[in-house]
Chains A and B, each alone.
Chain A
Amino acid sequence: MPPAWPTLPELAPIETLLSLFAQASLFELLAPSPPGWGGTLLRGLANSVQIALGAFGIGLLIGTAGAYGKLYGGPVIRDLMEVYTTVVRAVPELVLILLLYYAGTDLINRMLEAMGQPRIDISGLVAGIAVLGFVQGAYATEVIRGAILSIPQGQIEAARAYGMSPLLLLRRITLPAMLPFAIPGLANLWLIATKDTALLAVVGFNELTLATRQAAGATKAYFTFFVAAGALYLLLTLFSNVIIGWVEKRARRGIPAVGGAN
């Protein structure tokens, strides 16, 4: 049920709305130092960005390995990768986060106990990054697999003919050549990563959404704080879009522009 709200004296609707924003003015609420909650929100945002960066990085690593497994692995590895990407993409992130969060910390502690070590408290930051990275990896696998398939086959064959080792081939040819094809998909994944950090609020990690809820609960100014947090997320997205556009332009240099419909 919506939180109880002290009844105000009967006012005309517009005046009520105005008085709502006027009460304990907006700037006081969002001030960066302790009486205001702006600092808490910004710290939450910093945590969110940190998790998103970590998860995206892990996702890229898993994605590259997964794409290689799917493309060049043996039949067993291919099937296992298929199961991984299918399951992760079909089950809600929220369920995966809970499952991996509980199971992961439990498993590590059991292993430590079996080895005679004391239990450790796994920080929310590390667990969050690991769990979201695992989820991102499944999507990244598909994006990178598609991008590798888009590289003209001759380039890879030529590199093999030069006698390049698989690692050198990956570093010099496959990764740079697939980048322009992968960037739109990876950019999309980055935006999803920034928004998925909000899900960690459900397991109690203090990122932007949970910080906002605490601020809103303490001051009862629910509307103001959720709008403010929304604006922060939106700024992050728009800022990311600028960077992405710049990276994409750089990755595509030397490639003739294709006249697309859009």
Chain B
Amino acid sequence: MANAFEVTSAPAPPLRAWFKPHRIVLIAIAVGLVVLAATTMRWDWIVRYWPLALQGLWRTIWLLVLTCTLGFMLAVPLGLAQAAGPRWLAMPASAFCTVIRGTPLLLQLWLLYFGLGSLFPQFPWIRESELWPYLRQAWPYAVLGLTLSFAGYEGEVMRGAFAGVPRGQLEAARAFGMSRTKVFRRIWLPQAIQRALPTLAGETVLQLKATPLVATITVVDIYAVAGRVRQDTFIVYEPLLLLALIYLMITGVIVFAFRRLESRIPSRLG
């Protein structure tokens, strides 16, 4: 069951399509709404929270990139184990994916942060270890939680991708005398990634939409900054609207980047 909803499926409309009469009217209405919002709503708080918001935005992007990268690196062995591994590897891998996909991310984050966070201090050897100063902060738990979640969803995608590479390709590579690792590196993995690429864009957008959850475990991302504005100034809608706009723009960038990436990779599948 694919979790990703194709975000990239529709091709970009040609520029001329934007200038149909009804679209011009709609765009005019939208611009009017934006102007109305800009003039009648309160935006004076932006100046004061600008540096904090920038910091939060940076943290959101940094979390997104780091957890997607780490999660994908974890997803490759997870998918491989399920697609071609022996039973004793495939079973735990598929159990991991089921558990991650079957429970809410919010609960996973709270389990890691509050659960592990309350267990760790009881072990003297953890308290004395070098890692302790990091384990007392919130962001390692956020990174771990988001990484595991991405790995769980993407591992399932990679399982299908690995299984979908035609057998003949692998047999031909073996017949050429390539070693198993070389077959994996040169043939199997590149083709699997190519197959997984369309869903990868969707998964990345889903991961972006998951990042605000880290605000509930005290990581100050862009969402947490909006919450802070709401708490400090009792302005409710303006920060949330701006926040929605920012997420829309980040999604746009992700979709655009993956479209570029996909068009660069030749799409002929053997």
Contact in complex: A2, B1 (CB < 8 Å): no
Known contacts A10-B124, A188-B3; A95/B116 CB under 8 A: no
> What are 13 A-B contacts defined by CB distance under 8 Å?
A7-B121, A75-B20, A94-B223, A95-B247, A99-B244, A191-B101, A197-B104, A202-B106, A209-B107, A230-B103, A233-B107, A237-B98, A237-B102
Which A residues are within 8 Å of any B CB, using their own CB?
A: 1-3, 5, 7-8, 10, 13, 16-17, 20, 75-76, 79-80, 87, 89-96, 98-99, 102-103, 139, 142, 184, 187-188, 191-192, 195-199, 201-202, 209, 212-213, 216, 220, 222-223, 226-227, 229-230, 233-234, 237-238, 261-262
Which B residues are within 8 Å of any A CB, using their own CB?
A: 1-3, 5, 7, 20, 22-23, 26, 98-99, 101-108, 110-111, 113-125, 136-138, 160, 163-164, 205, 208-213, 216, 218, 223, 226, 236-237, 240-241, 243-244, 247-248, 251-252
Known contacts A92-B212, A195-B104; A102/B119 CB under 8 A: no
Select the residue from B5, B102, B137, B160 with max chain A CB neighbours within 10 A.
B102
Q: Classify the interface of chain A: helix, strand, loop or mixed.
A: helix
Contact in complex: A93, B106 (CB < 8 Å): no
- Closest-by-CB residue of B relative to A102 is B236
Q: How far is the CA of A21 from the CA of B209 in the complex (A)?
A: 35
| Closest-CB distance, B104 to chain A (whole angstroms) | 4
Contact in complex: B243, A95 (CB < 8 Å): yes
Known contacts A87-B248, A92-B211; A99/B121 CB under 8 A: no
**Neighbouring B residues of A227 by C-beta, 8 Å:** 111, 115
Contact in complex: A223, B216 (CB < 8 Å): no
Q: How far is the CA of A76 from the CA of B103 in the complex (A)?
A: 39
Contact in complex: B205, A198 (CB < 8 Å): no
Q: Choose from B110, B125, B213 the contact partner of A94 (Cβ within 8 Å).
A: B213
Contact in complex: B114, A2 (CB < 8 Å): yes
Contact in complex: B118, A3 (CB < 8 Å): yes
| Closest-CB distance, A162 to chain B (whole angstroms) | 33
